[in-house]
Structures are given as structure tokens and as C-alpha cells.
A and B are shown apart, each in its own frame.
Chain A
């Protein structure tokens, strides 16, 4: 529980995503940023100079000792998440870790166990799951719109390489930290799309089949390590199945979740913030050719109206999902309510990602050691 009534937040890691955290924390009533920290003090100072922040630090222990935050947001590269989060938990702080939560399931389990042991809370920055349309989708699923539970899900999480400074930095630097992650670029990007599936799975250890390869586009640039095309099948025996697609090449570059139940389905477009209901029943004869397009047109108009209303109400920021997640997390801390993202879901996301990277790694090493006459994965 927070003694002062005001939540004192701190941010560790002052790169690009830290700006979003500082902005969204600034939009939330009843909290303040008491410190920012980066092992490069210049980076900490530039964040301090641009946002209402009380102090900046180049050392984590100094931040924890002097600023005494209630919550620490960790926005450093993923390989450092575990150590920093563990240090913050041991210092008695609640922790918000940017995605990916950790570099593997084992670290995820250990962090959550540590949080539980210290009676503290922890969450992961899967803020895409808290956008306006996603929240409407969740409410519909919970109301039983699908009928029982999901039968099948399709999650698209694409990434456009061209012209992106981050992609350029990764591709141009063989020592870039992304290349040292077990899942390299995939590890840093796909957790949003995997978490959307994990939310609706019920077993702890679903079957995962992954196929990954380097796109011809990257190959032509001389890239030999970064896998940028991934297709995954996830299956809970006799229950729910899911397809996951990550692509740097396909267009449109989708961020979709399609979820099908026994009765109805739903189609979520994260970029457009639209949610479309897919009726499970059919109209008779020619009516099926004319009625559904009209129903879809009406639904899209409804989405337009909803989005406009949110925009005019000043509640349609690009990172509105992050604000909602942070606010929900802070409320769970202040009021002792459940965390917005169940720990089971965080661990399951890490589990699926581990399974994907293990398979890709095996295929890569096999391809490297044994001459293959024809390999679909290469």
C-alpha cells in the first residue's frame, strides 16, 4: 500500500520507450516521477530536462536510495530486465517491466516468485492489450459473445523494416544488443502478438510448432542472422488452437487479432482501433450476399463514431493502452486489487516464446551443420 497517497514512480532506462512512459505517467492523476536513471547519465539528464521529473541518476542503487520510488518502470534492453527488476523488488518497489518481460520463462517465473514472496506487484508492458478496441473485445468475450470460449485465434503482428531507424541500427550493427537476445529481433517484437493469444489459452504447456526464416529482402542486404519471417501454430489439445504470424515483408503490415468461438467471432484491428463482430449464422439464400456487407458497413460506421468521440473527448492518444495499463497497475497497488495482467499469462507468453526460439535455434544449427538439398525454412 502507498503511504503518502501519491504514487512515486521512477523510470530506469532512458531510451525511446521511456518517453512514452514519462508522457503517460504524466497523464495520470495522483502520481509523480521522482527519478529517472540510466547508466549513461547524459541520457538520464535529457529525459529529466524534457519531463516533470524530480531528479536523475546514473546509478540504480542511488535512485532507489535517494528517490525511494513506490514503482519502478524498467525500460532498458531485455537482457537486463531480470537483474534490475530483482534489485527493485528486493528494495521494496513494485515493478513495471517493458516487454519482453524477461529473456526466458525461467527468469519470468523467478521474478514473479520474488514479487509474491515480497508481497509486491509486477507487470509487463503489454499495453497493446489495453487499447480502446481491445478492451471492447475483452468485454464481449467475457459476456459470452463467442459462445463458451475461443475455438481458434489468429494473431498477426507485423513489422515494417524499411526506413525505420531502429531496424537500421539493428541491421547495421553486428554488436547490437538485439542480436544477443536468444530470439534476436523476434524476441524484442513479438511478445505483444503472442500475449494476445496467451490471454485466451487455458493450459500451461500448449504445443508449439514454429517456422522461421530470413526474408529475401534481408538476405539481399547481406543479413545472415536476423529471422524476420515467422509462422507459428499453437495448440491446446482438444481445446483452442492459434496461428501467429510475424512478417517484416507482408503488406498491409497487420496488427490483428481474430478470435472465433462456437457461436460467433471477432476481428480486432489494433492500428485502426476497430472491432468487428463476425456473425456465426448465415442469412438465407441471396440475403447472405447483401445483408452482411450492410451489417459490416454499419459496424465500421459505429467504430468511426466511437473513435471520433474518444478523440474529441481527449482520450485517443497513440499510447492510450499504456496509460490504461499503468493506471490499472497503480490502482492494483494502491487498492490491493488484482494486477491487470495475470501472472499465468506472463509466464505462458514467455513459455511460448521460449518454445519458438528453441525450435528456430535447432533448425538454424541443423541447417548450418548438415548440407540440405532443399530447406523450406531457409
Chain B
């Protein structure tokens, strides 16, 4: 069983990294410019720390608002990382000019910024696909890119196979993501398609990283794979399903390796930790460690039936109720599935540095703090 690394003052895991040994296996040197979009986000911030810890000294962090500078600049001010240049660029990825400026001379792009879109497909598409296209076009202009890392999601998988089968990188992606009723899924599928198109057409070297549910201190929501509280009562839908968690520092480590390791261009990597808890176990721990609340377990056959009925009613009523619950969504989120991280481990040498028990402990503590605030 792995031993959890120490935490620094900001609650971030501090793994033991030997920068010298690693660098020979990387496509970029410590002084090569690296761009991180969404650098101030939940994963982005951890990725920036990870790269700094590996000795990378020339990071360009792209953020949307000027106020988001502070948290990044305070990283360097902590003095933890030695001499490094951390340039914070404020801009909008919908602006071609901003993208051209941000990608100038960069060797690696870690593209984490994404539009969740909430319920709006155009918003999700615009902030995932149009932004990615702008970045790719800008990279083509500069002709110095060694790798483009796109952070995608498990949401893209159709997962329409038999119950309890293994979901890995070979599984099919949603062919008609618009029918899932999830704007985020639509945006992410189209984003991955665009990247593959640019890779094929223009030879852009890329890697796609698909994390499961990224959790850790700073996030308080319970993933929809466990259940939903749409109707004022928490409906527990996961049951005995393993939940594909990945702790935020483990995920950042995977993204960093996917961007740096030699010989993995064009590959896709799923990111999911070991020792995954079942939905039922997670919910029990959450109630014990954060707060108790009423939940109602909906067996899989019933949840599938309800999704089916909702889908049919939505079609019959011409979207009087939007088709947000449907069979595709059920298969993707609530069908019992096992998850594999073998490819990521084998090809990049990744291993989850924060064990599940420690990760959950830190997550619950963060949730408790947020509850009190």
C-alpha cells in the first residue's frame, strides 16, 4: 500500500521527485516555456505546483480574470520552488490574438480550461471547442509545439456494454453526444474530435487525458455517479458501483507525465486511482464524516426504467421536459462498471501517490470546513 506524501502549507501533496533523473525521459527541458490554461482552477493550480516541483522554471499560466493572478503569484512568493519564472497571462481563449500571445515559443500546452456550459450546449461547445481550435491554430502559427495535452473526461465514453465490464481507453466514445442531454459531454466529445482532426491533418503532437471524477479539498459536491438531489431528495443511484475517483494531486501528476513523457504522442490515458470505493461505501463515509442527510436508494433496474420513461416522455411531449435523463446517460453514469488505469501506469510510470483512504479523509475535511463556513 502506498504511503501518502506529506502536505505542504496549502494542503498540497509533496511527492519526492528527483528532477535530474526524470528529465532524460521528458520531451521538454526545465527552461522550456510551458503553457497551462485554466491554471487557477481546481486541477490547474495543482498542476502548476507539480511542474514547479519538478524544476520547470518557465511556466505561463493563462487565466480569465485579473483577480485570479494573486493565488498563482503567491505560489512563487512562498519561496518553496526556488528560482522560477511564472508568468500569469490574463486573457480570453475565444480571442485568437490572446491565444497567439499565450502560445508564443511554448513547447508544451496543458489545456485545462473548459466550459462546463451547465445546461447550455452552445456555451459548453464554445468554451471547449472554439477555444481549443484557437489554441491549436495559434500553435500552428508558432511551429514550436512539442505536445498539446488536452484534459478531457470520462464523460465522453458511451459505456453501453454489459454490466460490470471494464472501461478503458479502447471503449467507444459517444457517437451522438447531443442525445446524452449533457452539454459538458457534448463539448468534450467534440473537443477530442477536433484535436484528433488537427493531429491527423496538421501533425500536431497531442495526448488526451481523461480523468474520472476528480476530488479533493476545495470541491464539495457529491458526484452525480453516486446520486442526484434534483428533486429535493437525494436519490442514491450508484449502489454497489465503483466510483471512478482520482485525487486532485494524483490527477495533476498524471497530466504532468502525459505532457512530458517521451514516446506517447497520439495516446489517450484514463486517470483513475486504485482502491475505488463503491458508491454505497462512499455515501456512508460522507454521511459519517461530513453531514448526515436522508437519501433514498433507487435500484439499478428502477433507475434505468425511470430514465427510459423520462426519455420517452420527453420525445412524446416535444421536450416539454428536456431529455436530461435517458438511457445513454444511465449507461454512462449508473451502469455498474469497473475501471482500468493500467495503460497510464505502464506507459507513463504513473502511480497514485495519495492513497484512497487519505484522499477521502482530506476531501471530507475540506467538506466539513466548507460546511462550517
Contacts and interface: CB of A to CB of B under 8 A. Distances in A.
A241 B129 CA distance: 49
Interface string A311-326: 1001011000000000
A42 B67 contact: no
Contacts of B125: 42-43, 46
Interface stretch (B76-84, B304-312, B313-321): B313-321
Contacts of B123: 15-16, 165
Most buried by A among B115, B117, B126: B126
Contact of A314 (B115, B118, B186, B316): B316
A322 to B, nearest CB: 13
Contact of A173 (B92, B121, B316): B92
Contact of A16 (B95, B122, B317): B122
Interface residues on A, range: 20 to 34
B85 interface: no
B122 A172 contact: no
Interface string B94-118: 0100000000000000000001111
Given A49-B178, A175-B92, A317 B122 contact: no
A142 to B, nearest CB: 29
A19 B120 CA distance: 9
A43 B126 contact: yes
Contacts, number: 57
Interface string A1-32: 00000000000001110110001001100000
B65 A172 contact: yes
A86 B65 CA distance: 36
Contacts of A26: 318
Nearest to B133: A42
B320 A311 contact: yes
Contacts of A222: 67
A47 interface: yes
Given A40-B130, A42-B129, A173-B92, A23 B117 contact: no
Nearest to B68: A172
A43 B178 contact: no
B64 A172 contact: yes
A26 B178 CA distance: 16
A50 interface: yes
B122 A43 contact: yes
Contacts of A42: 125, 129-130, 133
Interface residues of B, number: 26
Contacts of B116: 165
B190 interface: yes
A43 B123 CA distance: 10
Interface in A79-99: none
A132 B116 CA distance: 32
Nearest to A176: B92
Contacts of A18: 122
A305 B95 CA distance: 50
B64 A15 contact: no
Nearest to B130: A42
Contacts of A175: 92, 95
A46 B133 contact: no
Contacts of A16: 120, 122-123
A23 B321 CA distance: 13
Contacts of B178: 49-50
A223 to B, nearest CB: 11
B117 A165 contact: yes
Interface in B156-184: 178
Interface in A262-317: 311, 314, 316-317
B138 to A, nearest CB: 15
Contact of B120 (A27, A40, A47, A165): A165
A314 B318 contact: yes
A350 B44 CA distance: 45
A378 B293 CA distance: 44
A40 B95 CA distance: 12
Interface in A310-350: 311, 314, 316-317
Contacts of B133: 42
Nearest to A171: B65
Contacts of A47: 122
A46 B121 contact: yes
Contacts of B122: 14-16, 18-19, 43, 46-47
Contacts of A314: 316-318, 320
B91 to A, nearest CB: 10
A316 B92 contact: no
Interface string A34-51: 000000101100110110
A316 B320 CA distance: 7
A311 B318 CA distance: 12
Contacts of B130: 40, 42-43
Nearest to A15: B122
Interface string B64-78: 110100000000000
A311 B317 CA distance: 9
Most buried by B among A23, A46, A175, A314: A46
B320 A165 contact: no
Interface string A42-62: 110011011000000000000
A49 B178 CA distance: 8
Given A311-B320, A316-B320, A50 B121 contact: yes
A247 B269 CA distance: 47
A19 B183 CA distance: 12
B65 A27 contact: no
A317 B67 contact: no
A50 B116 CA distance: 18
Nearest to A51: B178
19 contacts: A15-B123, A15-B126, A18-B122, A19-B120, A27-B318, A42-B133, A43-B122, A43-B130, A46-B121, A46-B125, A49-B178, A50-B186, A165-B118, A172-B65, A173-B92, A175-B95, A314-B317, A317-B318, A317-B320
8 closest pairs, A vs B, by CB? A50-B178, A314-B317, A46-B125, A172-B65, A16-B120, A16-B122, A15-B122, A317-B320
Given A40-B126, A42-B125, 6 more contacts: A26-B318, A43-B126, A49-B178, A50-B121, A175-B95, A317-B318
